[in-house]
Amino acid sequence: MKWIKGLLINLQFFTSIPIPFELPMDKAHLEKSIKTFPLLGLLQGVIYALILYGFLHWTPFSILTAAFAVWLAGIMLTGGIHLDGWMDASDAFFSYQDRVKRLEIMSDPRTGAFGVLSVIVLLSARFLFIYEVIQMIHPVSYVLIALMPFFSKMVMGVLLLKVNAAKKEGLGPLFKNAANEKTLFIYPIYIVILLIITVFFLNEAIWGMLFFILVSGFIFLLLRKKIVTWFGGMTGDVLGASVEGTEVLLWMTLWLLHYFAMG
């Protein structure tokens, strides 16, 4: 039951899906929510894949329309919460100030020019990758699309626990304080289960999944050091930015796979 409530907490915090009842916010349930970050991502990814399949196979609309539907779903389903983090972190990063000033900038509710420009670039790049992937769509593509948010949420969870918090208040420290040294043990189990399923039932997706694991691992290793250098530690905005950055890089990975491996 705590696992289900943990997943519902994630739906309440990180999506626009209405959860019409109050959920317990004690450490035990928040710890389960961290464990189910990847499951939340998998749920989101399945929704994106189904939307794409539905538009391509059950409607008369164009590829451009299908690409826009998937692109828009990524914004609407999350309520823009991670995009907000991307903009705030971009404003702070491109200010080229010291760590203390960057944290102040991230706490400012106003969005600056760098935040606006960075989100335009991010969303434009994502739309390009989505559109061209759809033009070269392969049955295995739907599986890999479903896995993108799974890995981005996994990166978020690992960063949350492996990088020290830059400040004591906020959403990030709230979740971080609920975790323990065993919280992340479930993440590699998820990956092993997915690899087993892929090998036996979705064999063509194995190389794409392995590339996703490598890209996600590289992003974590890069950000683990850079987050401390740039911001003095982890914040909720930085975690949101990591989700958006990871997903767009995974879309780019899938885009490149379609050009050079799946064509």
Tens digit of pLDDT at every position of the chain (263 positions)? 788 989 999 999 899 998 888 888 889 889 999 999 999 999 999 999 999 999 999 999 999 999 999 999 999 999 999 999 999 999 999 988 888 899 999 888 888 899 999 999 999 999 999 999 999 999 999 999 999 999 999 999 999 999 998 887 767 777 888 888 889 999 999 999 999 998 888 888 999 999 999 999 999 999 998 999 999 999 989 999 999 999 999 999 999 999 998 76
Domain that holds residue 38: 31-260
Length of the chain: 263
Note whether residue 176 is domain-resident. yes
Instruction: Compute the distance between CA of residue 76 and CA of residue 16 in angstroms, rounded to an integer.
Output: 7
Note whether residue 229 is domain-resident. yes
| pTM of the model as a whole | 0.96
Find, among 83, 1, 77, 93, the residue nearest to 41 by Cα: 77
Q: How many domains, the chain?
A: 1
**Paired strand residues for 234:** 165
Note whether residue 4 is domain-resident. no
Note whether residue 16 is domain-resident. no
Note whether residue 14 is domain-resident. no
Note whether residue 19 is domain-resident. no
Q: Which long-range contacts (CB under 8 A, 24 or more apart) does 71-74 make?
A: 71/123, 71/126, 71/127, 71/130, 73/47, 73/48, 74/48, 74/126, 74/247
Note whether residue 122 is domain-resident. yes
Note whether residue 9 is domain-resident. no
**Contact partners, residue 199, CB within 8 Å, separation at least 6:** 206
According to DSSP, residue 185 is labeled G
